[in-house]
Chains A and B, each alone.
Chain A
Amino acid sequence: MKKERSKKHRRLQLLRIAVQAFFLALFFYFLFGTHFTGQDYIGNVEVFFHFSPLLAAATFLASRTLVIFFGLAAITVLVTLILGRVACGWACPLGTIHQFFSWAFKKSKFLRPKKPAAGSLWVKYAVLAFVLVAALFSLNVAGYFDPITFLTRVSATSLVPAVSHGLQSVVGLAYAIKLEALADKLSQSVETLTLNATFQQGFAIGLIFLGFLLLNKWRERFWCRYVCPTGALLGLFGRLNLFKLKIDEAACTKCTLCSIHCPTQASPFPNDQWKSSECLYCETCAAICPTRAITFPVRFKQEKAPAVDFTRRRVVASSLLALFSVPFFRISKAGKRASEKLIRPPGSLPEPDFLRRCVKCGECMKACPTNGLQPVLAEAGPEGLWTPTLVPKIGYCEYYCSLCSQVCPTGAIRELSVPEKTTVKIGTAWINKNRCIPYFLGRPCIVCEEHCPVSPKAIKFIEVETKRPDGTTAVEKAPVIDVELCIGCGICENKCPVMDQPAIFVTSVGEARSKENQLLLQIRE
């Protein structure tokens, strides 16, 4: 028999790569559009999230609220019901990246699969069960695993910042070798993209991503194969799988190349072992088959696909694990009393509701024009890891900006108009008189008052007598804060000339979203 690979399936494979490239480009197009573009309102740059059924389900279960935008996830589900996991194989941007690296490892001979892999596929279903059961008990951990949130978070807080720093080096180099015109241009485009380049957790988040990239050296599409709960959910939805794998037994030489190179262990060979719930329709098996034995004819009849080894016992075990894990997440002091350092973006829901919805995707951090929104480590407790907080020393909350509230995919930050946003109090400024220049050194300053954006200003003056170190007495204007006017934007802290530990600083107390985290009697005479 003449050995010849299928040209048709090779073309389909190339088409699939083109479609993947398109969705990856689209993903980054939206991501790079997530910043101040000159308009107060930016479009629906967070649309990718709304196609994730896992985020839809977890947000719905954890918050007991239907977020209307997640209706788009129905499209993904519908497509999967009919066609199987094409969303994973043809559209998912994180999957594309993993597939690219798998391909690179194969091309460079770091990855040389010799026989079909036999690893257990049930882990991602266990992750899925954990995520959903936890969500049922209001613990939203979907964002740590969902591919769209994963990739957005790592891009916003790690990859893009790294690119920014890299570009800065290139600019520096261009200046050093006197290519000033080029350097000026580069520098301006870096500024225009407002690549937020400072993130307190960026290194760790990047390292985790790097780890998963390297695992592709061990198994092709490791993440998609073993970890991704969104893929697992789509695997469960895949019912009809309109195009069904068929091996022409007469042509098959039983070389098992198809199963060796299947990126998700869907086991094309033998035919009756094909796991439609794992198949991404990537066309690799059909294109690689040396005798054109593999085709995907349309068949309406449902066949009983061999089950993944996610046994009833494992379903129960992972659900129980979630059930018993939830209380452990609640031990932290975060739920007991507000953290002074946890300054949530304007429009954030009250803390318990916020945690139920926030998927730690980093969209708000990408959108923030001052780089002030940062992923937290411990301030919000274990379930709040990588949720956003304003760190005024890095960046303040820009008065006329409500971008973070516009781009939040789950409504953890309620969408605000710009006029609405200017009235939302996210914290309160305090003065450390022991460090404040007029109070302590008896010299003029008032930088905080100058920058206070509200009108009338929340920072007022009093005349203060200060004994200077040389014994003379100075009388200077010193700042005092009108707590009721202060919105906690943090520009005073950001601009305070006392650099290391600013003499004026913002804490979360007084934040409009909280009933408990207050300081003043709310009864007015």
Chain B
Amino acid sequence: MNRRTFLKDVALGGAALGAGSRLFGAFPAGQAAGPDLAVIQGESPAAITRAAIETLGGMAKFVGRGSVVVIKPNIGWDRTPEMAACTNPDVVKALVEMSLEAGAKKVTVMDNTTNQAQRCYVRSGIQAAAKAAGADVPFINPRRIKKMAIGGAWLKDWDVIQDFVECDVLINVPIAKHHSLCRVTLGMKNWLGAIGDPRNQLHQKIDEASVDLAAFFKPKLVVLDAYRILTRNGPQGGRPSDTKLLKTVAAGRDAAAVEALGATMFDINPPDLPLLKLAVERKLGRIDLEKLNIEKRTV
């Protein structure tokens, strides 16, 4: 069973949901034991990532033995980690290691970059880190992009990079960043890196597009890298002074909840973000943080 058929089954509302949840771990949010969100602070990006996943019950809850895992960080920009434009490489590396420890057959890390792919892969540090941990880090192959039904409220179909669909477990690892159109990007917009062109046109309805894509890809796990966040001049920054060290990682099953928590890092009230309001309307998850079980720790 791959993601595509799984999603189809869920859409049909069949009994597959029961089988699926056994196969893929707990789903949807709230059913599993343990907290809804893990928010871990600490000096080491790798250690806080590990702690966050362990707080959620360990990687085995998400990654079954022999499963094919795809990790989607933000590798969009030709920027080094201290610019906070791409996901922290140590966070990605920790997730690769944990997936393999949980028995994953194959772990792939990739992104459809904005700047030249090689430069982004190299200078973000993600290629080297993920490879060292045992992941495949391929470039986007234009021949593996196919038009698919997105089935969104607004986005009906679009070119999708097949690697993100042909897998058992999809993990979204965005970085918390300022963005002048969306105010902030905390996860759902990261899916613009899993699709083909002309994706720039999606800016004309960016929140709708992000939510539709998030509903389509439905990651098993969302790990928000807020070790170093970008507070202005987003989404690229350019100076270390555009960034702020929060030394935090937030993780959860519920993409909306993680995103809502991320909004608070920028002192934004979650319902003030149009994207989160849309996400709630589409029943993608919860943003009422005060009612969620959030475990905060420092390691």
Contacts and interface: CB of A to CB of B under 8 A. Distances in A.
B and A form one assembly: yes
Interface of A: 36, 38, 171-172, 175, 183-184, 187-188, 191-192, 194, 369-370, 398-401, 437, 443-447, 449-457, 461, 477, 495-497, 499
Given A398-B115, A400-B79, A447-B203, 11 more contacts: A184-B144, A188-B139, A191-B117, A369-B116, A370-B116, A401-B119, A450-B181, A451-B114, A455-B237, A455-B239, A497-B204
A192 B138 CA distance: 10
A172 B143 CA distance: 8
A475 to B, nearest CB: 14
Interface of B: 78-79, 114-119, 122-123, 138-139, 141-144, 179-181, 198, 200-201, 203-206, 233-239, 242
A501 to B, nearest CB: 15
Nearest to B239: A455
Contact of B119 (A36, A445, A451, A461): A36
Contacts of B203: 444-447, 450, 497
Contacts, number: 91
Nearest to B181: A446
B238 A398 contact: no
A400 B116 contact: no
Contacts of B118: 36, 38, 191-192, 194, 369
Mostly, the A contact residues are loop
B108 to A, nearest CB: 11
Given A36-B119, A369-B119, A455-B237, A477 B141 contact: no
A449 B232 CA distance: 13
Task: Tell me which of B116, B142, B206 has the highest count of chain A C-beta atoms within 10 A of its own C-beta.
Answer: B116
A454 B236 CA distance: 9
Given A36-B119, A400-B78, A450-B235, A171 B181 contact: no
A450 B199 CA distance: 13
Contacts of A188: 138-139, 141
A456 B241 CA distance: 11
A320 to B, nearest CB: 49
A455 B235 contact: no
B139 A38 contact: no
Contacts of A454: 238
Nearest to A461: B180
Given A184-B141, A450-B179, A455-B237, A443 B117 contact: no
Nearest to A194: B118
Contact of B180 (A191, A369, A399, A477): A477
Nearest to A450: B235
A453 B236 contact: yes
A480 to B, nearest CB: 13
Contacts of A398: 78, 115-116, 119
Task: Tell me which of A172, A188, A477, A495 has the highest count of chain B C-beta atoms within 10 A of its own C-beta.
Answer: A188
Given A172-B143, A443-B204, A449 B180 contact: yes
A445 B116 contact: no
A455 B204 contact: no
A350 B79 CA distance: 30
A462 to B, nearest CB: 12
B204 A437 contact: yes
B235 A187 contact: no
B205 to A, nearest CB: 8
Contacts of B234: 450
A511 B242 CA distance: 27
A184 B138 contact: yes
Nearest to B85: A453
A341 to B, nearest CB: 23
Given A444-B203, A445-B203, A455-B242, A450 B117 contact: no
Contact of A444 (B114, B138, B179, B204): B204
Contacts of A369: 116, 118-119
Contacts of A192: 118, 139
A444 B179 CA distance: 13
Nearest to B78: A400
A520 B269 CA distance: 44
Closest 10 CB pairs of A and B: A455-B238, A497-B200, A191-B139, A369-B116, A38-B122, A447-B200, A187-B141, A455-B233, A455-B239, A497-B201
A495 B204 contact: no
Nearest to A491: B115
Contacts of A36: 116, 118-119, 122
A172 B141 CA distance: 11
Task: Tell me which of A36, A171, A445, A455 has the highest count of chain B C-beta atoms within 10 A of its own C-beta.
Answer: A455
A195 to B, nearest CB: 12
Nearest to A399: B78
A194 B236 CA distance: 23
Nearest to B114: A451
A183 B78 CA distance: 27
B166 to A, nearest CB: 11
A398 B143 CA distance: 25
A477 B182 CA distance: 12
A215 B260 CA distance: 71
A175 B139 contact: no
Contacts of B117: 191
Contact of B143 (A175, A399, A444): A175
Contacts of B236: 450-453, 455
A310 B49 CA distance: 78
A183 B143 contact: yes
Contacts of B122: 36, 38
Nearest to A40: B123
B180 A446 contact: yes
Contacts of A457: 233
Task: Tell me which of B114, B142, B203 has the highest count of chain A C-beta atoms within 10 A of its own C-beta.
Answer: B203
A192 B121 CA distance: 11
A450 B238 contact: no
A338 to B, nearest CB: 28
A452 B180 CA distance: 12
B136 to A, nearest CB: 10
A452 B179 CA distance: 12
A177 to B, nearest CB: 13
A38 B128 CA distance: 11
